[in-house]
Amino acid sequence: MRNSAGCERNSLPVACSLSEPNLAKRRQELSEDVLAGALGADELDDGYAFAFPGSAEWANRLVEMINAERACCPFFAFELAVEPGGGQIVLRVRGPEGAKEFFEAELIGLRTERSDTRAQPEV
Q: Is residue 4 part of a domain?
A: no
> Residue 29 falls within a domain, yes or no?
no
118 inside domain: no
- Inside any domain, residue 3: no
Q: What is the 3-state secondary structure (H, E, C) of the chain?
A: CECCCCCEHHHCCCCCCCCHHHHHHHHHHHHHHHHHHCCEEEEECCEEEEEECCCHHHHHHHHHHHHHHHHHCCCCEEEEEECCCCCCEEEEEECCCCHHHHHHHHHHHHHHHCCCCCCCCCC
**pTM for this predicted structure:** 0.77
Residue 3: the pLDDT is 44
Residue 66 lies in a domain: yes
Looking at the structure of the chain, the number of domains it has is 1
Instruction: Give the domain range for residue 100.
Output: 40-113
Q: Is residue 30 part of a domain?
A: no
| Residue 1 near residue 8 (C-beta atoms within 8 A) | yes
Q: Is residue 17 in a domain? A: no
Q: Is residue 96 part of a domain?
A: yes
Q: For residue 38, what pLDDT is reported? A: 94
Tens digit of pLDDT at every position of the chain (123 positions): 444 444 455 678 888 898 888 988 888 888 888 989 999 999 999 999 999 999 999 999 999 999 999 999 999 999 999 999 999 999 999 999 999 988 888 776 544 444 343 344 443
